[in-house]
């Protein structure tokens, strides 16, 4: 049976369309757009590295442009999103709580994130911690600072952070808000007061089917082996899920020129698929991506789809780094053309581009240079910078740029 054949460029565009990176946002974003962007991706991975904007804020910037990062905290505090382990630690739309609840009720399957032995060994302390939160309200791990038991009866438990994380993974505590990006923990029944395990919790098999189904939507176009990674699923029958999605006409098979095997396109991209077969679609977005953006968080997928070999080097000794501490992939009109190692000097209001490396296949043109210059300028403005300083930047770019500029 023959299948539609699309170009690699069109395949990339279908994926970027699913990730809301097809066209730049032209209107002023709102707080509601932050929640909708997370819904459209399904997951927003959390990371705390802050040499530039922290990853979740950056992922949203790549899609929304100049928005207020405070809107993310407001969405969490307002109960529109919640935190849990999904791809990794993620912000997730609150209506998807049922997809993950089975993990909380069976935390023994969560690997290093939960230790039954620890829970059993410290059960009395953990119960006391729950009692304290019930009586006194939400806590942060930083709240436990006294060396000795205080007059109020509260004290510093050296393992208090692990207690909190254990209770978080087992779903007894949830993150009710973040203060200066630090988690604030409260009882799950206070964060989700209307939740009822007996009537609302999905069976693990049902939940995992739905997660794979949604992964197909969020990817837009995919190979079977890409599906399980989105929610970090293990030992799932992807073949059976694809068969069901084909039977329900939610996906359709295609071939991609230059790539082996069958790919599948989700129905939300069907309107673009005909144009894709005629190579009449392209992404016009140029932006910097987070290392934990869904477009690149599956390094193998990024390699196959974008011919982009990528890894984060913040855990690599400085002398052994090839590109830099926290490099940001450069997305330019459907291609990943390079990476930027940047640092935001917040007091000085300067964005430093320490280095910029282009991919070997990325030839420089005036438009490409202008696109990347504009993306860096917008990135700097959003973070409150007034000036951009450049360091190790290819001569092919510097032919079009100055070494520093006002934003």
Percentage of the chain modeled with pLDDT above 90: 88
pLDDT in tens, 183-228: 999 999 999 999 999 999 999 999 999 999 999 999 999 999 999 9
Q: Which two tokens stand for residue 257?
A: 């020129």
Average pLDDT over residues 2-10: 93
CA angle 159, 151, 163 (to 5 degrees): 15
SS3 call for 248: coil
> Domain residues for 17?
1-114+170-286
Strand 81-85's sheet: what is its strand order? Answer: 44-45, 89-93, 81-85
| High-pLDDT (> 70) share of the chain, % | 96
How many domains does the chain contain in total?
Answer: 2
Decide if 194 is inside a domain: yes
**Mean pLDDT, range 341-356, rounded to an integer:** 97
Q: Which residues of 287-324 are buried (b: 16+ CB within 10 A; e: fewer)?
A: bbbbbbbbbbbbeebbebbbebebebbeeeeeeeeebb
Q: What is the pLDDT of residues 233-261, one digit of tens each?
A: 999 999 999 999 999 999 999 999 999 99
pLDDT tens digits for range 102-131:
999 999 999 999 999 999 999 999 999 999
Residues 76 and 195 in one domain: yes
pLDDT at 153: 44
Largest CA distance in the chain: 77
Sign of CA dihedral 12, 291, 324, 287: positive
pTM given for the model: 0.94
In the predicted structure, residue 151 carries a pLDDT above the cut 80: no
User: Which of 5-9, 312-316, 401-405 is predicted least confidently?
Assistant: 312-316
As a whole number, the mean pLDDT across the chain is 94
Residue 300, in any domain of the structure: no
Which pLDDT does position 157 carry in this prediction?
45
Residues 259 and 373 occupy one common structural domain: no
What pLDDT does 1 receive? 60
If asked whether residues 269 and 324 sit together in one domain, one would say: no
Any domain includes 144: no
């Amino acid at each position: 049976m023959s299948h539609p054949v699309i170009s690699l460029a069109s395949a990339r565009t279908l994926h970027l369309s699913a990730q809301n990176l097809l066209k730049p946002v032209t209107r002023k974003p709102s707080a509601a757009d932050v929640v909708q962007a997370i819904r459209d991706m399904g997951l927003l991975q959390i990371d705390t590295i802050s040499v530039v904007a922290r990853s979740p804020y950056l992922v949203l910037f790549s899609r929304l442009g100049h928005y207020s990062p405070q809107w993310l905290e407001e969405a969490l505090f307002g109960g529109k999103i919640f935190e849990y382990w999904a791809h990794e630690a993620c912000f997730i739309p609150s209506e998807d709580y049922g997809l993950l609840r089975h993990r909380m009720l069976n935390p023994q399957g969560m690997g290093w994130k939960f230790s039954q032995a620890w829970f059993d060994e410290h059960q009395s302390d953990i119960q006391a911690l729950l009692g304290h939160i019930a009586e006194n309200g939400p806590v942060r791990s930083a709240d436990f600072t006294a060396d000795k038991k205080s007059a109020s009866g509260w004290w510093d438990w050296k393992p208090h952070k692990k207690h909190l994380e254990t209770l978080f993974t087992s779903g007894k505590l949830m993150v009710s808000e973040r203060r200066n990006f630090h988690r604030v923990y409260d009882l799950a029944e206070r964060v989700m007061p209307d939740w009822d395990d007996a009537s609302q919790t999905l069976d693990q098999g049902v939940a995992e089917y739905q997660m794979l189904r949604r992964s197909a939507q969020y990817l837009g176009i995919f190979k079977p082996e890409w599906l399980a990674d989105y929610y970090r699923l293990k030992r799932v029958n992807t073949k059976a899920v694809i068969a069901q999605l084909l039977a329900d006409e939610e996906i359709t098979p295609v071939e991609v020129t230059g790539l082996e095997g069958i790919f599948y396109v989700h129905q939300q991209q069907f309107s673009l698929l005909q144009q894709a077969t005629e190579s009449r679609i392209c992404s016009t977005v140029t932006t910097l991506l987070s290392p934990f953006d869904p477009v690149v968080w599956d390094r193998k997928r990024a390699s196959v789809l974008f011919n982009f070999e990528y890894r984060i080097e913040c855990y690599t000794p400085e002398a052994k780094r090839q590109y830099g501490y926290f490099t940001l992939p450069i997305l330019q009109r459907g291609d990943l053309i390079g990476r930027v190692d940047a640092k935001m000097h917040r007091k000085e209001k300067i964005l430093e581009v320490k280095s910029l490396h282009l991919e070997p296949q990325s030839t420089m043109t005036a438009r490409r240079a202008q696109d990347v210059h504009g993306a860096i300028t917008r990135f700097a403005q959003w973070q409150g910078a007034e000036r951009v300083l450049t360091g190790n930047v290819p001569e092919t770019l510097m032919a079009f740029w100055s070494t520093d500029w006002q934003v």
